[in-house]
Chains A and B, each alone.
Chain A
Amino acid sequence: MSENKKNTRRSFLKMGLGAAAIVPVTALGLSNSAFAATDPKAIKWDDEMDVLVIGSGMAGMIAGIRAAETDPSIKVVVADKMSRLGGSSLISGLNMAVVGSDLQEKIGVTDDSWELLLKDIEKEAKGYNHRPLTEVAAKGTLKLYNFLKDHGVQYDMSIGGGTGVKKLGGHSRARCVWPAGGGTEVIKKLQQFCAEKLSNLEIRKKVLLEEILRNDEGRVIGVKVREKYRFNSRPEDLGDNDNPEINKSGKTKYYKVKRGLVMGSGGYNQDRRFRGDEVGTMYNAASTTQPGATAGAIKAMINSGFKPIHMTLFRFAFPIPTEDILWGILVNPRTGERFVDEYSNNDRQTIGMAILEERRAIDGEHTVLIYDQKGADEYHDQQRLHLSLEGKNGTNGTIWKFETLEELAINFDMNIATLKANIEKYNIDMEKDQDAFHKPKSKLKTATSISKAPYYAMQLNPRYNYAQGGALITPEARAIDVVTGDTIPGAFVCGEAAAGTYGYIRLTACSTIDCGTFGMVAGENAAKEQPWS
């Protein structure tokens, strides 16, 4: 493409031009469009609303609330295809990076800044991100923190040694805070706020988005949905639920959306086929996002011309902090042997892929991470360690405690002799800082051997828990048309459903700020759109 057009697009994004700047497709001299235009007069509308938000997780709820607050005279509907509201947010920890909070002030951190946060994020993004978008997230953290507080969310003061704020891996300042009770707290409090204070906001369950309708000028005018939809969590590939041949539940309805459609529909992590098409080994990865995280919404967006980006990127999550893996050793249960440097620069992708590859060789059996007491003592995140010991840390998140290595070996069907031999070898090599996998002794502090009872073990497995891929947006949360490159009038995307804020990896504690800041922007802008009819 020409240099001119590139610059136009970049400055377009920078200035964040709105609907008024849209040029109809035909005027650009392009005869084909990315979507099939709908004639609004040909549709028999079953319902109408000013703003329709798809998704009831953090992004969707915040978008809905901001839309309803921005204009109390408009009708806002937050629709979710699941019968269990809250998306993945409900079951997530939802820790969040906040620059300049009162909690940070109290512990004497006065030199944090959004620029520093941006730098931390971009170090992980490795250049894949679109900086104007990342800046929106980096700049909006304090506003989001206060928004949540004002809407009933309380923060957990027991973390960070009683200060309520922690320095997590990859962050150069102590700035991460937790809602008290994680995502459940956020979702329930926001739902409560809506019920008590926002009479113009309605939340609807079991409404599946099937199609996004745009008129011949490219404006989003409405949606085709199925009401009383029943998601089925039994299929091997949950993505089958988006296939109307397989899941036929629900009755078709047409909603007229007068001002704005906001897509807060999350990721597609549970869609084996969809993510497996992007990255082969991902077909078999585990995921602990909500079961409804399938590709239906992104497909509907693509089908109506929204531009998808970053679809091949993925992010592993471990139930324990990546930087607490190195204190132990990862072994193949059948051979008792190690297979990777457990430090690997704290790169979760490397460690995750190594585990998946090793598991492939042993029919999918789990590899085992073993600590001794010294390793447990070095744990950064004692809170997480105890959650695991109580069995409350999700799938493969449980850590078992054993008085002897013999007990440990029996529990995981391992040969005690080979295990002990391998541990012995590790201890000897590490003493000389000549580890077979080049694990640096300097990083291990006091945990330079596996020798002190009691022992701890878990079946460490990477979870594919964040989909960087999604619809490209502008800093105003507006969707972009894949053919024209212009914003799509009346279309907004926020949270995990959107893409561009992050890149190769998403820094920990940053999904919340993406969902929250763009949720606010999307909701406000959707409410301010001029109605098309």
Chain B
Amino acid sequence: MKKLLIIAISFFVFSMSWATISETTPEPNWQELAQEYSIKPHHRALKFDCVMCHSESTPDDYEPLETEQCLDCHGSSQKVANRLKFMDANHTNPHNSFHDGLDLDCYECHAEHEPSINLCTRCHEVGNWMSTVK
């Protein structure tokens, strides 16, 4: 009787832990995620996957990136601004603009999983200042 009880309890505990573990760590459907959260052509050309940018342990926990995270690869606000230095003369360098200097967060304009917007066009006509925001 005692033996039976021990076996029953062990079986119960084992199946509960197995169920719990498999409940808490299901493998994310990466294919589906990649389709739903498509990335921009310039990042896709680099064969990036989700974990190149997102460091959280599961996709459910993924948060939108902060500027510092973009700059882990893109260097610094100064470096990004330097690439468009020829626009400084007109004060229309989007990364070193009249209103914001180096203070803008990347996501004011740039989005990865949806089209980016051009913050300047909220108020200005930018036709001869710059190209489309990537």
Contacts and interface: CB of A to CB of B under 8 A. Distances in A.
A84 B117 contact: no
A416 B54 CA distance: 58
B104 A84 contact: yes
Interface string A215-234: 00000000000000010011
Interface stretch (A3-11, A167-175, A364-372, A392-400): A392-400
Interface in B68-108: 98-101, 103-105, 107-108
Among B64, B99, B107, find the residue whose CB has the most chain A CB atoms closer than 10 A. Answer: B99
B124 interface: yes
Nearest to B100: A84
Contact of A288 (B98, B100, B123): B123
B123 A91 contact: yes
B124 A394 contact: yes
Contacts of B103: 84-85
A395 B122 contact: yes
A139 B66 CA distance: 44
Interface size class of A (residues with CB under 8 A): 20 to 34
B125 interface: yes
A398 B105 contact: no
A83 B104 CA distance: 8
A485 interface: no
A184 B99 contact: yes
Nearest to B109: A233
B108 A188 contact: no
Given A83-B105, A84-B108, A392-B124, A234 B117 contact: yes
A391 interface: yes
A90 interface: yes
A84 B104 CA distance: 7
Nearest to A91: B99
Contacts of A375: none
A291 interface: yes
A230 B122 CA distance: 18
Nearest to A90: B99
Interface string A151-188: 00000000000000000000000000000010010001
A233 B117 contact: yes
Contact of A391 (B64, B117, B122, B125): B125
Given A392-B124, A394-B124, A398-B125, A84 B101 contact: no
Nearest to A188: B101
Contacts of A398: 125
Nearest to A394: B123
A468 B107 CA distance: 32
Contacts of B123: 91, 288, 394-395
Interface string A83-96: 11110001100000
Nearest to B127: A391
What secondary structure prevails in chain A residues at the interface with B? loop
Contacts of B98: 181, 184
B124 A395 contact: yes
A85 to B, nearest CB: 7
A178 B100 CA distance: 19
Given A85-B103, A91-B99, A291 B122 contact: yes
Among B108, B125, B127, find the residue whose CB has the most chain A CB atoms closer than 10 A. Answer: B125
Nearest to B114: A234
Contacts of B117: 233-234
Nearest to A230: B64
Contacts of A391: 124-125, 127-128
A360 to B, nearest CB: 24
A20 B4 CA distance: 77
Interface in A273-328: 288, 291
Nearest to A85: B103
A184 B107 CA distance: 20
A230 to B, nearest CB: 6
Contacts of A230: 64, 107
Nearest to B104: A84
A184 B103 CA distance: 12
Interface in A46-101: 83-86, 90-91
Nearest to A396: B125
Contacts of A184: 98-99
Contacts of B122: 233, 288, 291, 395
Interface in A84-143: 84-86, 90-91
Nearest to A181: B98
Nearest to B92: A392
A398 to B, nearest CB: 5
B125 A83 contact: no
Contacts of B104: 84
A135 to B, nearest CB: 33
B102 to A, nearest CB: 11
Interface in A183-238: 184, 188, 230, 233-234
A83 B100 CA distance: 12
A83 B99 contact: no
Nearest to A184: B99
A286 to B, nearest CB: 10
B124 A83 contact: no
Among B98, B101, B124, find the residue whose CB has the most chain A CB atoms closer than 10 A. Answer: B124
Nearest to A233: B117
A398 B126 CA distance: 11
Contact of A83 (B101, B108, B127, B128): B108
Going nearest first, the 7 A-B pairs with the smallest beta carbon separation are A394-B123, A83-B105, A184-B99, A395-B123, A391-B125, A288-B123, A398-B125
22 contacts: A83-B108, A84-B100, A84-B104, A84-B108, A85-B103, A86-B99, A90-B100, A91-B99, A181-B98, A233-B117, A233-B122, A234-B117, A288-B123, A291-B122, A391-B124, A391-B128, A392-B124, A394-B123, A394-B124, A395-B122, A395-B123, A395-B124
Given A84-B103, A291-B122, A391-B124, 5 more contacts: A83-B108, A288-B122, A394-B123, A394-B124, A395-B124
Interface of B: 64, 98-101, 103-105, 107-108, 117, 122-125, 127-128
